[in-house]
């Protein structure tokens, strides 16, 4: 997989946001729904919300990092995040929403993406979620708390390009099971991201997953 540097818009990231690129995004979304493309998308400098009925992951690790990017008016920005990483994950009833405010003549515009609501869940490999708020019921198996980030070897490791202290606090587990997931995040990255039953909608006003 091509290496990725945090900050700026990268097409191998999960979240999709900017209204001028909706047509291209829709075409990629159709390819994902048909299983023709395994990829992920990004939002640079904007928070987005993600909810899920459940997330079942193997090879879990978590460490601190700094996400850098740009605001919608082009200014550089940085945010402290907790990076949750999984070697593999399946997600049921995934919902992702992002709101772009202050668009001329339209005001706020919301993009909502849903997938994994049918018989097939969303599937991801080498999944990284950069979040600053999370609520869920969680069960961890084989958990180690307080290891150095560089020594967290149960997960996929520190992602290349992350601004993270390799000697900083981290935790890891053989597996993680989360239900009732609600989180706000700055980025989600995956080596592959298969969105079964994808549905994407764009509308005016503020509409979010929670």
Q: What local confidence, expressed as pLDDT, does residue 43 receive?
A: 52
Q: Which of 87, 78, 57, 109 is nearest to 187 (CA)?
A: 78
- What does pLDDT average to over the chain? 83
Report how far apart the first and last C-alpha atoms of the chain are (Å, whole number): 33
Q: Tell me which range, 23-32, 55-64, 75-84, 186-195, is most confidently predicted by mean pLDDT.
A: 55-64
Which has the minimum average pLDDT: 17-31, 135-149, 157-171, 172-186?
17-31
For residue 114, what pLDDT is reported?
96
Going from N- to C-terminal start, the domains of the chain cover 19-199
| pLDDT confidence band for 76 (50 / 70 / 90) | confident
Query: Count of CB atoms within 10 A of residue 162's CB?
Result: 23
Alpha-carbon distance of 153 to 28, in angstroms, equals 33
At residue 5's C-alpha, the angle toward residues 186 and 59, to 5°, is: 70
pLDDT at residue number 27: 46
Q: 180-201 pLDDT, tens per residue?
A: 999 999 988 898 889 999 999 9
73 — pLDDT class (breaks 50, 70, 90): confident
Whether 28 shows a pLDDT value over 90: the answer reads no
Instruction: Report percent pLDDT > 90 for the chain.
Output: 64
Q: What kind and span of H or E run contains 201?
A: strand 199-204
Look at residues 29, 83, 93 and name the one whose alpha carbon lies nearest to residue 56: 93
Integer CA distances (angstroms), 135 to 74, 132, 150, 192, in order: 31, 11, 26, 25
User: Which residue bears the tokens 């907790």?
Assistant: 82
- State pLDDT tens for residues 82-135: 999 999 999 999 999 999 888 889 999 999 999 999 999 999 999 999 999 999
Residue 93 burial (10 A CB sphere; 0-12, 13-18, 19+): middle
What does the pLDDT look like over 37-48, one tens digit per residue? Answer: 445 445 556 889
Identify which of 17, 71, 55 has the alpha carbon closest to the alpha carbon of residue 134.
55
Residue-level pLDDT at 3: 37
The rounded Cα 42 to chain-centroid distance in angstroms is 8
Question: In this predicted structure, what is the pLDDT of residue 193?
Answer: 87
3-class secondary structure, 98? strand
Given this model, what pLDDT does residue 71 score?
A: 76
Q: Is the pLDDT of residue 50 over 90?
A: yes
């Amino acid at each position: 997989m091509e290496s990725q540097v945090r900050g700026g818009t990268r097409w191998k990231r999960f979240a999709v946001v900017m209204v001028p690129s909706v047509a291209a995004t829709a075409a990629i979304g159709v390819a994902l729904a048909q299983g023709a493309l395994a990829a992920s998308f990004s939002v640079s400098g904007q928070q987005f919300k993600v909810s899920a009925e459940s997330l079942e992951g193997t090879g879990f690790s978590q460490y601190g990092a700094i996400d850098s990017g740009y605001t919608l008016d082009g200014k550089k920005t940085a945010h402290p995040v907790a990076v949750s990483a999984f070697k593999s994950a399946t997600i049921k009833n995934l919902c992702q929403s992002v709101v772009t405010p202050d668009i001329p003549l339209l005001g706020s515009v919301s993009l909502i993406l849903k997938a994994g609501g049918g018989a097939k869940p969303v599937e991801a490999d080498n999944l990284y979620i950069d979040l600053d708020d999370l609520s869920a019921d969680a069960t961890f198996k084989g958990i180690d708390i307080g290891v150095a980030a560089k020594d967290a070897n149960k997960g996929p490791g520190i992602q290349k390009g992350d601004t993270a202290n390799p000697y900083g606090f981290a935790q890891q587990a053989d597996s993680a099971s989360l239900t009732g997931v609600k989180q706000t995040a700055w980025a989600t990255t995956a080596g592959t991201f298969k969105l079964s039953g994808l549905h994407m909608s764009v509308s005016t006003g503020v509409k979010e997953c929670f």
